Structures are given as C-alpha cells and as structure tokens.
Structure 1
Amino acid sequence: MRGTLVHSYLFLRRAIGVIGLLLPVVLIVGGLLADGGLAGSISGYYHGSLRDVFVGAMCAVGVFLISYRGYDRVDEVVGNVAAVAAIGVALFPTAPADADGTERVFGVLHLVFAGVFFLALAFFCLVLFRRSDDTAPTPRKRARNGVYLACGLVIVASLVLIALCALLGLAEALRPALWLETAAILAFGLAWLTKGEAVLADLEG
C-alpha cells in the first residue's frame, strides 16, 4: 500500500512538472502558428486561439495540486492554496486592452490569484521541497536541494522584475511579462519534475 502511494505521489509531481515545462512552449509556439504573433503574457493567451489549452492546463495543475498530499499539514495547506489560485487564474482571465468594468474586475482577481500561485510555488521550492527527515542527506538530495533553491529564486526574481517592469512602464513591445512568466513557469516545472525523482533520483542499492 505504501509503495502504491509513493508511486502515486511521484506521478502527481511529475505530471505537474511536465505541464509546467510544456505550457509556455506550447502557448508561445502555438500562438505564433495559430495567431501569427506573441501575447503580452502567458495569461494573455486566454484571449487567443489557445484559450482552451491555457485554461485546461491551469485547471489540470489545480486538480493535481488538490490531489497532492505532502509530508504534513503545511504541505497540504500550501498545495490547496496553490490549487485554488491555479483554478482562479484560469477562471478569471487577465484583462484585455479594451476591458470594460467587469473585465477589469476579473483582471484584478487574476493578478491576485497569479501572485498567490507563484508565491506558493516559490514556498514549495525554497522551503518545503528542501526539507529532509535525514540528518545526513544523500549527495543526490543535496543536489536536488540546489535545484529547488535555484528554481525558487528564479520564481521570486521573476515576480519582482515583472512588478518593476510594470512600474517603470517598459515598452510592451519587449513583452517582459511574457518572458519572465515563462522563466518562472519553467522553473516551477523543473522543480516539480525533480521532486518527482525524474531528475537526480537517489541511486538504488
């Protein structure tokens, strides 16, 4: 029974990681092919031909996170918060350029959910994933902790830079939010794939 649960948790972690790694690539490449251009952000693809891909991926991440059970109550709470935020990101789209009153309200909610989602992911990387029951972690565990630390810092740095770019009014033609969100999502995907032991798994025997 324990072995079955372990394999289930590994599958969930890997599934979340794969979605995180594939989502930006699919949206950016697919958007270029289907719509002939780039969106201003990852969330901006909601308003293009790939809306269903974006919504479906975020809802799938939310469902996987709700199903995920970590080592203790803190893991579960953070996972549930991230799950609700992921689904909120999908259900409350970012505001388009010509947004009306309702769309602007949805846009504000979208930003709140997105911020909570990324902060929860950073907390997973910087704190929860790096914990260990062993007083002497294996070399592979130390290496994984290095990956988690780097991924968490990338997520936090991306959020800070997105806020700075918005405050400084950097040219939208550069699409800073798109590339910074892409970096954060790729880091999130790599961290969860590593947690699923698809990367740097401990050697058996």
Structure 2
Amino acid sequence: MSLFQVGHDRYAAVGHGDKYSAIDQRALARVVGSVAVGLPIILWIASHLPSDNPYIDTCFRYSISHFYYAPLWGTVFTGALCFIGAYLIVYRGEDRLGAENRLATYAGIGAFGIALFPTSGWGCDTEIFAARPKLTMRLVEGAPTLDGTFDPTTAFRLFEYASVIHYASAAFVFFFLAWFCFFVFTAVDDDQRDALGKPTQVKVIRNTFYYAAGSVIVLAILAMGSAALIPWLTGVPWPWWDAGNWTFWCEAAALIAFGISWLVKGRFITWLEDET
C-alpha cells in the first residue's frame, strides 16, 4: 500500500477509490504551509503574553532560532521544524532524474539540523528571562547549585560546534525555499496551458504568488547575510540589528512567504484551482 502519492498527479484531490491507499498531498501541502506561516506568529504572540509563569513567559528573542531555549516555546519551535523536515524528506519531485526529490530530502535533513542543533547565544537583552540552558547540576547540602563557575556562553550551547551546524543547515534550507518558489512551483504542466500553448490565467496568478514569495525569501537572506558579513569585515558592530530583532523579522518573512507558496500549491485559495 502506497502511503504517499507520487508522480505528476500527486497534488490531485483524492478520488472515490480506496481513501486509505493514499494521503492527499494537497492536504499535506496546506498543513505544511499553515505551520510555516503560523510558527513566527505564535512565537511573537508568546513573547508578548503577560504571564509570570516561568514555563510560558519568554522574552522577544533576537531570532526565531533563539526560541529553542524557551522552556515551552522551544518545543513548539523544534516540533514545527521537525514536522516541516519530515514532510520535505517524504516529498517526491516530478523530474525524471530525481534532482527535485534529492534536494527536498537534503532540505528536510537541514530542517532537522536547524531544530536539533541550537544557534549561538541566548537571544535576550533583558536582565531576567525564562530559559532552558544546558547546565550541569550537582547537589550541595541538599540544594541544587551550579557545578563550577556559571558561564552563560557554554550554558547556552549544546556542544562547541553546534551553532556551525545550525547556520549551515539554515543557509541550505533558505536556499531550498527560494529555489522551490522560483523554479519548481512555477513549472507549467501540459494541462496548465490553454489552446495556444500559453499558461492559463490561473497558473499565471499562482506563479505571481510564487515569484513574490521567492523574492521575499531572497531579500531576507541578503539582509541576514549582510548583518553577519558587514560587521565582521568592517569591524563595526550593528547593535541596532539585535535591538530591533531584525533576524527574527527576516526569518519570519521568509517562513511566511514559504508557507504562503505551499498554501497556494495546496490550493488553500480555492479560486486558484485549475479548471477541469
């Protein structure tokens, strides 16, 4: 029994046959799109909740990745990225050489890398904030205390090169998001052409969404790359970047753009459906 639809018609709605023989790929595309759009929105709301509960309260962190260290919302972050990663791994492309399939699989692994290997630093500029750092604890006279001198750098680090894996994974995943929007979703199938061989009007509209989403992702990548490279090359820091949480906003824009492209692909907007 094939659990996941493959082939050129994998985005077609499930018909009247055996409803347990396939998982509707359009439904999955809509779910993935909703998760990508909803994650930054949920984390932004969470960081502004008026709560004194240490498990719910969190500061507005510099980036989405820094929510890894939030006691509750870190689980939301890792869960959402793992879900997206799992979908990308099982996704099957349409090209005969399988390049689309392989790239999606690599991007899925990259999404797991983002989720499981945290970024550097703790992402907060407030004096007091709830967090789940990596600390070694020992009992002294019945009271839990820190083992040795507290070092916030190592406390918020899984291991020495975890952040390198995180950044490499993020770079590849963002590249994949843009590549899919520009070159995969915009491909025109034979049944999406009119009598003159041109793309149908509804396909042109869908491609406009895809190109716009890809452009937003590329702009977000360029902005984050500039924020990392220019201070490093010039030796002049950009304190305003973290102060404005601009990495968070760039990541949010890229995720929302990616999510909208998958929602369009999954025909969440019903009037973008192909005519039959």
Same fold (TM over 0.5): yes
Report if the CA contact (8 A) 2:58-2:70 is conserved. Answer: no
What letter corresponds to residue 87 of structure 1 in structure 2? Answer: F
Which moved further from structure 2: 16-25 or 166-175?
166-175
Task: Tell me which of 245, 248, 252 is aligned to 1:182.
Answer: 252
Equivalent residue, structure 2, for 1:93: 118
Task: Tell me which of 247, 251, 267 is aligned to 1:197.
Answer: 267
Do structure 1's residue 147 and structure 2's residue 218 form an aligned pair?
no
Do structure 1's residue 39 and structure 2's residue 61 form an aligned pair?
yes
Do structure 1's residue 130 and structure 2's residue 197 form an aligned pair?
no
CA–CA separation in structure 2 for the residues paired with 1:80 and 1:154: 23
1:151 is displaced (CA, Å) by 0.5
Task: Tell me which of 105, 115, 132 is aligned to 1:80.
Answer: 105
Give the match's secondary structure for 2:161: helix
Structure 1: any 5+ residue segments left out of the alignment? none
Give the match's secondary structure for 1:99: helix
CA–CA separation in structure 2 for the residues paired with 1:113 and 1:160: 16
1:18 is displaced (CA, Å) by 0.6
CA–CA separation in structure 1 for the residues paired with 2:11 and 2:45: 36
Which moved further from structure 2: 96-105 or 6-15?
96-105
1:138 is displaced (CA, Å) by 1.1
1:6 is displaced (CA, Å) by 3.0
Report if the CA contact (8 A) 1:24-1:182 is conserved. Answer: yes
Which moved further from structure 2: 194-203 or 51-60?
194-203
User: What do the CA deviations read for 1:155-179 (whole angstroms, capped 9, x no partner)?
Assistant: 0110110121233432221111011
Report if the CA contact (8 A) 2:117-2:165 is conserved. Answer: yes
What letter corresponds to residue 119 of structure 1 in structure 2? Answer: F
User: What do the CA deviations read for 1:163-203 (whole angstroms, capped 9, x no partner)?
Assistant: 21233432221111011111111001001111111135225
Give the match's secondary structure for 2:12: helix
CA–CA separation in structure 1 for the residues paired with 2:62 and 2:273: 40
Q: Percent identity between the aligned chains? A: 33
Equivalent residue, structure 2, for 1:53: 76
Report if the CA contact (8 A) 1:95-1:103 is conserved. Answer: no
More helix by share: 1
Which moved further from structure 2: 88-97 or 183-192?
88-97
Give runs of aligned pairs for residues 94-113 of structure 1, distance below 5 A. Answer: 94-97=119-122, 98-100=152-154, 103-113=159-169
Closer, same or farther: CA 70–12 of 1 in aligned 2, 3 Å: farther
Task: Tell me which of 77, 91, 106 is aligned to 1:68.
Answer: 91
CA–CA separation in structure 2 for the residues paired with 1:74 and 1:126: 15
Which moved further from structure 2: 164-173 or 130-139?
164-173
Higher relative contact order, structure no. (Cα contacts within 8 Å, ≥ 6 residues apart): 1
CA–CA separation in structure 2 for the residues paired with 1:133 and 1:6: 13
Report if the CA contact (8 A) 2:82-2:111 is conserved. Answer: yes
Equivalent residue, structure 1, for 2:148: none
Closer, same or farther: CA 37–22 of 1 in aligned 2, 3 Å: same
Larger Rg: 2
How large is the RMSD of aligned CA atoms in angstroms? Answer: 2.1
